[in-house]
Amino acid sequence: MFLVYRWVMGMTLENKTFYFMGGLPRSGSTVLTAILNQHPEIYASPQSNLLGIYHNLQNEIYNSESWKTGLIHENYQTTINFLGNLFYSSVEKSIIIDKNRAWGTPGNHNIATTLNKTPKTILVLRPIIEVLSSFVRLAEKNPDNFIDNEIANQDFYSKYYKDINDVRCDYLMRSNGEIDQALLAIATLLNKPEICHLVWYDDLVANPQACLSGIYQFLDIYDFKHNFSKIKQLDKHDDSQIFGIKDLHLISSSIKASQTKPELVLSNYAMAKYANALDFIPR
């Protein structure tokens, strides 16, 4: 691979190739990033706030007096263009897959094009009722979980008259929440199939090598034979401090299908309300 280097603020920055990962929570993206990191040329990040840094930086620049008066636009644009390379300057690998479930939303898609003119995105998916049942089971096991804390802080009225697990599901599926934002990104990218690749949780579990080979074909990266019995998690997550759920992102050293059956966790109300939430996505 031909590498280009640019001097920025006295540092030598490698021009990395950027791709993106989005999709739904509790759908296997953490284990998928760990597997992708076995590839000699790929670094797949944990949930990253590079996107948020872009928003803050662009807001600061475009509202500055010097930008509005037409001064040093080239300097500002250079800063924006090399932000991604600076953010990942400590990573030795040349291909970056930045994970953030909001990458595909319309405005964020435009930011992605500053990193790659063809911002190919991997979407990791799972039936919504399986996502919800996974969260509910975790909430039941962790009394100080972020879901119940947010329900209390926002004073969800339904907590006074609905079963707590139904309230948890409605909170997770609330308008403009994390899952709703992820669904917007997914729906937006589905209209651009040339830059969108779907990875379903059950396919990843059933045939992981075929799943990874499909990703490499989509990204036009050489294939790699993975070891699915010795999966290592490079990035440590302090889940208990932030989410109140111990080991929320902990993965197994081998791929294992979830044993959580939605019908044993969710009520008929939740099953009926959310079972068809992903009908807009082709299988």
Boundaries of domain holding 203:
5-274
- Give me the sheet containing 196-200, strands edge to edge: 42-47, 95-99, 17-23, 121-125, 196-200
Per the structure, how many domains does the chain have? 1
282 belongs to a structural domain: no
pLDDT tens digits, residue range 183-218?
999 999 999 999 999 999 999 999 999 999 999 999
Q: What is the pLDDT of residue 13?
A: 67
User: Among 8-17, 99-108, 222-231, which stretch is predicted with the lowest mean pLDDT?
Assistant: 8-17
245 belongs to a structural domain: yes
Q: What is the pTM of this model?
A: 0.91
Q: What is the pLDDT of residue 251?
A: 82
237 belongs to a structural domain: yes
pLDDT of 12 over the 60 cut: no
279 belongs to a structural domain: no
pLDDT tens digits, residue range 151-163?
999 999 999 999 9
250 belongs to a structural domain: yes
pLDDT of 255 over the 90 cut: no
pLDDT tens digits, residue range 90-138?
999 999 999 999 999 988 988 999 999 999 999 999 999 999 999 999 9
256 belongs to a structural domain: yes
pLDDT of 32 over the 90 cut: yes
28 belongs to a structural domain: yes
The CATH number linked to 79 is 3.40.50
280 belongs to a structural domain: no
